[in-house]
Amino acid sequence: MAPRSERPSAASEPRERSGDRGVPASERAGGSGGAKPPGEMKTYHDIVGDGGSRILEQVAEQRARITDGLAGVRHLVAVGSGKGGVGKSTLTLHLASALRARGLRIAILDADFNGPSQARMAGVEGALFVPGSRKVALPRTSDGIAVFSMGSLIPESEALEFESAAHGESHTWRATREFALLGEILASSEWGTLDLLMFDLPPGAERTVQFADFLGPRASFLLVTIPSEVSRGVVARSVAALSKGSHRILGYVENMSGYYCRDCGAIRPLFVSPDASGLEIPCLGTVPFDPELARHCDRGIPLAELTGTPVGQALEQIAQQLLDSLEPGKEPSP
Ligand code: ADP
């Protein structure tokens, strides 16, 4: 926050700014007849209405554009964990590919703006965003999955910066700017008709809940853990935090569940931890660690190359489980 002495006084503020509707600043911010003596800090409660910012109308307008843009999307699935580095991005992309191979229309929104992985993994780094018929058309993977990732817009040598009004105060605005950006991406991208829009979430149990709040009740959650006590503990926090709301948690996937040895074809233990995860949500499947999968991710090579391997088979099964939990009672696709 700027030091008080740097704040413009009410007297020095212009009377007319866009949206101020000619109301003197002292009356807007100080409330009806409640002008504060110079130098006294105003609080949130001193602000009348939206303080003349039109913020409520702007939020409502953006919400309407988001609702309109997502009208053709059947399911919103957020892939989260709470923990980082457990394979959220990997599973988002490769489950999307497994579903795409069944003919489903899929898009991915990489919501990890500061650590975007989808651009590289999906092979859309440096892809161009071009105008679509009404909104911005998204780049697509070779198998036809539309992908929005900050990694397509910002090279890996640079970090995303959220501008702030005051130098060195970017943390004050971070969450607000992050969600305003997410809203703008949702509202301005051409999602079209989709069976599934998958969100690759950033780490953080509490942030997972913020995404749940932002995405609204249509979004359901798939959580990812690895078989370590540390990871399971963090995922348990995410489950507890999400359970306070009304969002559906479809279940969890245990990634890096054993090491697939390509030399001998066996799956060997990787983490020494109890078999039971202790997570009180359904397990949709387990995926072994396969160095080839890591290589595929690094180079943006599609899943088709892994068909028939333990990882490929595991992803196929989990994709089916995911569909079953999204659409219970529907005949499994061939
Ligand atoms: P997160 O999105 O949770 O931060 P990532 O999906 O980026 O995690 O995965 C972290 C790293 O581990 C990536 O380099 C990815 O390729 C690799 N990885 C994830 N799951 C597997 C797996 N089952 N086998 C091999 N490598 C994996």
Q: How far apart are the CA of 297 and the centre of ligand 1, in A? A: 8
Looking from the CA of residue 224, the nearest atom of ligand 1 is: 3
Q: Which two tokens stand for residue 165?
A: 């009004």
Ligand 1 centre from 97 Cα, in Å? 16
Specify the residue with its C-alpha closest to ligand 1, atom 14: 294
Assigned domain for 159 exists: yes
Do 76 and 183 belong to one domain? yes
Say which CATH number the domain at 143 has: 3.40.50.300
| 125 and 57 housed in the same domain | no
334 within a domain of the structure (yes/no): no
| Closest C-alpha residue for ligand 1 atom 22 | 289
Q: Where are the beta strands (DSSP E) in the chain?
A: 73-80, 106-110, 130-131, 136-137, 146-148, 194-200, 219-225, 248-260, 267-268, 283-289
Distance CA 79, CA 253 (A): 10
Domain match, 48 and 80 both: no
- Ligand 1 atom at shortest distance from the alpha carbon of 292: 25
What is the Å distance from ligand 1's center to 256 Cα?
Answer: 8
Tell me: do 141 and 271 sit in the same domain: yes
Q: What's the pLDDT at 158?
A: 83
Ligand 1 binding site (Cβ under 6 Å of any ligand atom): 81, 84-90, 117, 255-256, 287, 289-290, 293-294, 297
| Residue 20 located in a structural domain | no
pLDDT value of position 177: 83
Question: For ligand 1, atom 12, which residue shows the shortest CA distance?
Answer: 87
Let me know if residue 6 belongs to a domain.
no
Looking at the fold, whether 196 and 61 belong to one and the same domain comes out as: no
Q: What is the pLDDT of residue 156?
A: 85
In this predicted structure, what is the pLDDT of residue 270? 93
Does any domain span residue 11?
no
pLDDT at residue 26 in the model: 43
Q: What size, in residues, is the chain? A: 334
Query: Rounded to whole angstroms, how far apart are CA atoms 141 and 110?
Result: 14
In a domain, 104, yes or no: yes
Q: Distance from the CA of 90 to the center of ligand 1, in angstroms?
A: 5
Beta-strand relationship, 283-289 and 106-110: unpaired
pLDDT value at residue 228: 95
CA 293 to ligand 1 centroid distance, Å: 8
The domain total for the chain is: 2
Whether 108 and 234 share a structural domain: yes
196 and 86 within one domain: yes
Domain range spanning residue 112? 72-326
89 plus 49 within the same structural domain: no
Handedness of CA 119, 125, 126, 129 (dihedral sign): negative
Residue ranges of the chain with per-residue pLDDT less than 50: 1-33, 334
Q: Are residues 254 and 111 in the same domain?
A: yes
114 and 196 fall within a common domain:
yes
- For 183, the token pair is 């809203």
- Residue 93 in any domain: the answer is yes
Q: What is the pLDDT of residue 76?
A: 98
For residue 112, give the ligand 1 atom closest to its CA. 2
- Domain stops at, among 43, 69, 95: 69
* 150 and 49 inside one domain: no
Cα of 330 vs centre of ligand 1, distance in Å, is: 31
Residue 193 lies in a domain: yes
Q: What is the pLDDT of residue 170?
A: 67
Residues 6+ apart with CB under 8 A from 331: none
- The reply to whether 42 and 121 lie within a common domain is no
